Amino acid sequence: MTTYLVTGAAGFIGCNFVKYILGRHSDIKVVILDALTYAGNLASIADELHDARVTFVRGDVGDRALVAKLLAEHDVDYIVNFAAESHVDRSITNPRLFLETNILGTQNLLDCARHAWTADGGGYLPGKKYLQISTDEVYGSLPKTWDEPHPLPVTDDIRRVIGSRSDMKTYGDRFFTEQTPLAPRSPYSASKTSADLITMAYHATYGMPVNITRCSNNYGPYHFPEKLIPLIINNILQGKKLPVYGRGENVRDWLYVEDHCKGIDMVLRGGRVGEVYNIGGFNEESNINIVRQVIAIIARIMRDEPHYQQLLSCPLEAINDGLIQHVADRPGHDMRYAIDPSKIARELGWYPETPFSVGIEKTIRWNLDHRDWVKSVTTGDYQRYYDEMYKNR
């Protein structure tokens, strides 16, 4: 049996990863460690909590005694660290929290693993690995081409990634690779960069078996609605304005969350120790175009499948681009992120399988079909945060 310790598994990507590995591997055990902060919701892993292979523990990744106890009791093989404060806007209003969770929490996990996995006589027990889940934001910002998207520059590596896919596009001719210098521009990305650096320092100094994955923007089921896509979906259904920073021309590379989970598991099981792997979707789109697409898809679904209209708090004809409200841009807003995943494609055979046109409709329909889950995470702390961040901008 392979035992995973998955931190932050009640959050968006973490819960999808747990669902992914339980569905594809029978010979595993999963220990979930989650502090259940505002973005962690047990409803996201309700079915998994009834799986005999799963153990849930509520706790903080910074709790040394707890982490050491879990590693000893469960003989953990893989640590997958999703636990993080992850929203840029929140990091601007409360940077310290991001440093405590994202840097010190990571260091605690690494140090506990170093002691638990050290073999008698030196070295590390076989089959152990620590995986730090990072972000493309550690690389900073890329320039954006202001014209219409143009075809990808087709190198041999990229051709192997995308095959015959014709739906992929880019807003520029530069991409983040694993060799791109780290240049974070927000407290959030600086804290994630620091976590990456301490992870690699434990590899260089102590020989720790580690990997880092850096992904582009994820989207899909169970996404907490402070992020763009679920926020827009939720607001449209409620007839609320759709806040878009600045002119909405900032570009992100969108990766369907299940594709990301597949890549993470492949790195755990086959990635070269000490290596960084970029996981990107080659699905670039500007924020304003994302919002317009979501409006159009929801309006179409409501017209074609009228049973969904019961979810609306506004007239159907109100679902149009008039809901868009441009708000003051956030400080240091990166213009463009774009990842080149050629390395993971070349070494491990991973590639992004879900075109954005497919993934975005699946995501919207999931949100329409799971309103109870959405309601459970859009009360209390989230509503206060939403009013603070957007109401007066």
Catalytic residues: 136-137, 188
Q: Which of 264, 320, 313 is nearest to 291 (CA)?
A: 320
Distance between CA 239 and CA 323 in Å, rounded? 8
Among the listed residues 4, 83, 112, the one whose alpha carbon sits nearest the alpha carbon of residue 48? 4
Q: What H or E segment, with its residue span, contains residue 278?
A: strand 276-279
How far is Cα 89 from Cα 74, in angstroms, rounded to an integer?
Answer: 37
Going by their DSSP bridges, the two strands 54-58 and 28-34 should be labelled as: parallel
Determine contact, residues 198/190, Cβ cutoff 8 Å: no
What single DSSP character describes residue 103?
Answer: I
Across-strand partners of 327?
Answer: 245
Q: Which two structure tokens, joined as six digits, stand for 352?
A: 């992004």
Query: Helix or strand or coil: residue 211?
Result: strand
* CA–CA distance, 206 with 209 (Å, rounded to integer): 9
31, two tokens: 């220990």
Q: Do 217 and 256 form a contact (C-beta atoms < 8 A)?
A: no
Question: What distance lies between CA 65 and its chain's CA centroid?
Answer: 28
- Residue 183: which residues within 8 A CB-CB, separation 6 or more? 138, 139, 140, 141
Residue type, 245: Y
Contact call for residues 307 and 365 (beta carbons, < 8 A): no
